[in-house]
Structure 1
Amino acid sequence: MTGRIRQQYIDSDRLANELLDKNGIFKWRFRKTVEETAKMGKELIEGLEKQTFPSVMLHKVVMQTIENRLNYVKANFQKSFSKLFEYRDELMAKNLEFLSTHIYPGDKFVIWAHNLHIKKQSSANRLSRYRSFAENLPPLMKEKSFVIGLYAKEGRMGDYSGRDYPIKKMSHKHMEWLLSHSPYQNSFVRCSHEWGQKKEAACAHRLSRHGNKTGFYSSKTCIR
């Protein structure tokens, strides 16, 4: 990048970082800064369109990255927390579609993400419905993908800010506890919607017969 474009990028990125650090309650105070950042971002994109890149692939990746960045900054001040959470997953899905179509066509991908993002039927959750990254993928990509949820029994974990802390002790209702008490070294639990409904019905039937009112059945083949 030339000196002028380079400085535009630095200034735009600095403003974007500052805005993303703002407290959600007082975000309305920074409307003018958001508009300024959007204007700078538009000028940056127009300038980059005229730049010469070492490869077409690099040019596409840079443009996609900057557009995502600007759209996410604006969304932070236009959407509620829940809608922003969904929008973030929508951007993730568009990025994967972009990479598979324009950058690495025909290649296979391994996506490592939080279980919540890769659930194929997250909107079916009665308590917290939202369209996950996996649900936002095109039908063909969803059909050809296979999701594996990983669970940590013990140790330490990190959050989005980079801080780490110990994993809390599990209770007998946690998936981690159930899997760790399996007699097998490796456990696999099918989580398709139809399979889950059948198992839930079977659990409810057994619980009613045994007078169990807790909603938990100890059989390893019947996890709710």
Structure 2
Amino acid sequence: MLKARKILLSLTLVLASGISLSNASAAVPTVEEQQIRTANEAVAEWKDWVNDHAYKLTSIQRTTDFDDLEMLKPLLHDKRMVFLGESSHGVAEFSLAKTRLIQFLHQEMDFNVLAFESGLGNIMDAYGNIDQQSAEQTMKEAIFGVWWTKETLPLFDYIKASQTTDQPLSLVGFDMQLQGMFTNGDWLQNKQLAKQFLTVEEQLVDWSSSEDIEGYRQAKPKLITVYTDVKSQVKQQEQVLKAAYPNEPHIVKLMERTLAQRIHVAEEYIELNIQSNIELKQNNPTTFYKTMEWRDQAMVENLLWLANDVYPNEKFIVWAHNDHIRKAHSEVMGTPYPVKMMGELLPEAKKKSSYVLGLYMGSGESVSNARDVLPVLPVKRGSMEDILAAANAPYTFIDMRYRQNERGNSWMFEPRLSYSWGLIEESFVPQEQYDGILLIDKATQPTYIK
């Protein structure tokens, strides 16, 4: 199997090289020329098939007309979780398209929980007061700054407006990364402990960027003691917490979970992160990979806990980067993070009851997490984006979950080239990673909100 994949990948690379047949021998073609000719014929068949079978979305703007999304109902009717990915965090159209998909899934298919790739506690804190503040404030307190854009804000307008209906869209986070303070500690009714809590929150962030591993080992017990003391107050202050977070009915569970995770982060993750900081200066990514896998293990555990213990009777929409939701990320060739990530770590039963949608871009430009402009590289012939672009539509959706390998769609069952972030060349079997793909023909920069 591995040998066959290598051969297929080799053919894909030959195809992408742009070698012309114009110089081929008129008499007997060489083996390489015949391979190129065969590959070109295959691409033509694939593109014809996509043109016949792809769904073309009419809009990515919020709307009450969902006729172009009706085809999703038979695909998702029995799914508990729908994962909405993105190949870059910095694309305006990704946020717009996902917001519209969320609106459709919520209104038309009763998906009532939106789980975001942001802090478990931070979203708890913001959502707990959603009625008392603007949608923009909720967005900024809830999610990472990479999504503080005018294109994401309509989602938070929608979430806020839904709270006054008989079907509110609940917002939760599942990430463990340090994202700033997740509570001010006023509910503790103990000024000294609240001050200690604020101090250790700041110290934990500082230590995460440190290279002083021995210094951290000495400081760690005190940090853990403070978090443990705060956690011990949660149930005692249940009524105060409920008053402080009136929109979060699960505040006690979420606060305990967040504090337990902070203790776990202090016990293990920060030390790993410090070691990673040291090694990366030596061009050694070994421990950095361990921090990535540690994070995704924590994220999948949080997501499963939310689905099983907090919202056991609700259907979930999950917003995250493609890397986190792919079903077999560690098998992707060329990825900067060759580890098992959240989607791959999901139990098989959960994978069967989920649908994983990857979002990609065919041209234009995106923005890095540091807000550097990243031009999307020209697609290579025979790549996944090149094949899907044959639909000649601004927004092209293709389902792969329910396809059998046949002439015309064999591209989704073979290694294909694709771009992460619009510029990192990867190779993977599309159908093994995603259930569906949404290709945005042209990506543009988001408009950031300060």
Q: Shared fold (TM-score greater than 0.5)?
A: yes
AA of the residue aligned to 1:151: Y
**Which of these residues, 150, 154, 165, is aligned with residue 372 of structure 2?**
165
1:200 is matched with which residue?
414
Identity across matched positions, percent: 19
Distance 2:197 2:229 in 1: 10
Q: What CA deviation, in whole Å up to 9, does each residue of 1:49-75 have, x standing for no partner?
A: 432232872100011112223322431
Over 3 Å counting, the alpha-carbon distance change for 1:198 and 1:173 in structure 2 is closer
2:341 is matched with which residue?
132
Note if 1:50 corresponds to 2:236.
Answer: yes
The gaps in structure 1 that reach 5 residues or longer are: 204-215, 217-224
**Which of these residues, 36, 39, 45, is aligned with residue 225 of structure 2?**
39
* Alpha-carbon contact 1:45-1:66 (below 8 Å) kept: yes
* Alpha-carbon contact 1:8-1:44 (below 8 Å) kept: no
Equivalences for residues 1-224 of structure 1 within 5 A: 1=187, 2-4=189-191, 5-22=193-210, 25-52=211-238, 53-54=241-242, 57-73=250-266, 74-78=268-272, 80-125=287-332, 129-152=338-361, 153-159=363-369, 163-173=370-380, 177-178=385-386, 181-185=389-393, 186-188=396-398, 190=400, 199-200=413-414
AA of the residue aligned to 1:137: L
Distance 1:200 1:136 in 2: 23
AA of the residue aligned to 2:351: K
Cα drift, residue 11 of structure 1: 2.2
* Alpha-carbon contact 2:366-2:376 (below 8 Å) kept: no
Cα drift, residue 106 of structure 1: 1.4
AA of the residue aligned to 1:76: I
Cα drift, residue 150 of structure 1: 0.7
Distance 1:170 1:104 in 2: 42
AA of the residue aligned to 1:13: E
Over 3 Å counting, the alpha-carbon distance change for 1:126 and 1:100 in structure 2 is same
Distance 2:397 2:217 in 1: 51
Q: What CA deviation, in whole Å up to 9, does each residue of 1:109-153 have, x standing for no partner?
A: 111111110011113335654221112223322111110111133
Distance 1:15 1:120 in 2: 36
Cα drift, residue 191 of structure 1: 7.9
**Alignment root-mean-square deviation, CA:** 3.2
AA of the residue aligned to 1:77: E
Over 3 Å counting, the alpha-carbon distance change for 1:147 and 1:18 in structure 2 is same
Larger RCO (CA within 8 A; separation ≥ 6): 2
Between 112-121 and 72-81, report the one with greater CA deviation.
72-81
Partner of 1:109, secondary structure, is: strand
* Alpha-carbon contact 1:28-1:77 (below 8 Å) kept: no
Select the structure that is richer in strand: 2
AA of the residue aligned to 1:43: D
AA of the residue aligned to 2:190: G
Cα drift, residue 199 of structure 1: 4.2
The gaps in structure 2 that reach 5 residues or longer are: 1-186, 243-247, 274-286, 417-426, 428-450
Select the structure that is richer in helix: 1
Give the number of aligned pairs: 197
Cα drift, residue 180 of structure 1: 6.9
Runs of 4+ with >6 A deviation: none
* Alpha-carbon contact 2:325-2:343 (below 8 Å) kept: yes
Partner of 1:120, secondary structure, is: coil
Partner of 2:230, secondary structure, is: helix
Over 3 Å counting, the alpha-carbon distance change for 1:44 and 1:180 in structure 2 is same
2:39 is matched with which residue?
none
Partner of 1:8, secondary structure, is: helix
AA of the residue aligned to 1:60: K
* Alpha-carbon contact 2:324-2:343 (below 8 Å) kept: yes
Over 3 Å counting, the alpha-carbon distance change for 1:154 and 1:33 in structure 2 is farther
